[in-house]
């Protein structure tokens, strides 16, 4: 491919990382390159406390509800295995007074965006999701996380500051 390019040309090389292979490529393509680097900011490791509570399958949503309400937890992510489970668990929690919403790939993009915005605003206290990477990269500042598949893994708690009080909850989300 490089042989097909004109001898006189301008090359620009962008890379988020610069491993030895990329360095070698740059040296073979570029003459007197200018290298611009953005200083990385080291993130402080959060203080995390983990707990394990064994509970039978039939009672795990009720245990989660109890932990969330008694602990005053806000900005909670609950990870489940299926889209059906996101809808089921979120509905059960919402019906019991926890402002919860499902978040999964079968929701329309506009609905996912709306749910995330409402979560960031504090109008939902809890998201039940199967989409771990997207939720984690989109929502910063949550304090609690729970995995409820197989055995219950109760929330991983961080010592981060509490989120402000929530405004009135939105209505139960439709799947549109």
Structure token digits, residue 117: 């915005």
Q: Which of 76, 174, 170 is nearest to 123 (CA)?
A: 170
CATH code of 48-158, in short, is 3.40.50.300
Those residues whose C-beta lies under 8 Å from the C-beta of residue 104, and which sit 6 or more positions away, are: 83, 86, 87, 129, 130, 131
pLDDT < 50: residue spans in the chain: 133-138, 148-164, 166, 176
**Residue tagged 């549109």 (tokens):** 176
pLDDT for 90 equals 93
pTM, two decimals, is 0.54
pLDDT tens, residue by residue, 145-167: 555 443 334 444 444 444 445 45
pLDDT for 152 equals 37
Question: So where are the chain's domains?
Answer: 48-158
pLDDT tens, residue by residue, 40-52: 776 777 666 667 7
């Amino acid at each position: 491919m490089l042989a097909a390019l004109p001898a006189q040309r301008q090359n620009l090389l962008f890379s988020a990382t610069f491993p030895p292979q990329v360095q070698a490529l740059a040296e073979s393509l570029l003459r007197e390159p200018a290298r611009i680097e953005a200083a990385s900011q080291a993130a402080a490791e959060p203080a995390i406390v983990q707990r394990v509570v064994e509970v039978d399958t039939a009672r795990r949503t009720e245990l989660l509800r109890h932990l969330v309400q008694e602990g005053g937890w806000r900005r909670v992510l609950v990870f489940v295995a299926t889209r059906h489970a996101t809808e089921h668990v979120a509905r059960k929690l919402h019906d019991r007074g926890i402002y919860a919403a499902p978040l999964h790939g079968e929701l329309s993009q506009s609905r996912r965006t709306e749910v995330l915005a409402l979560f960031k605003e504090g109008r939902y206290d809890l998201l039940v999701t199967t989409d771990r990477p997207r939720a984690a990269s989109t929502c910063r500042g949550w304090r609690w996380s729970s995995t409820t598949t197989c055995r219950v893994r109760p929330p991983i708690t961080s010592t981060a500051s509490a989120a402000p009080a929530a405004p009135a909850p939105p209505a139960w989300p439709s799947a549109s």
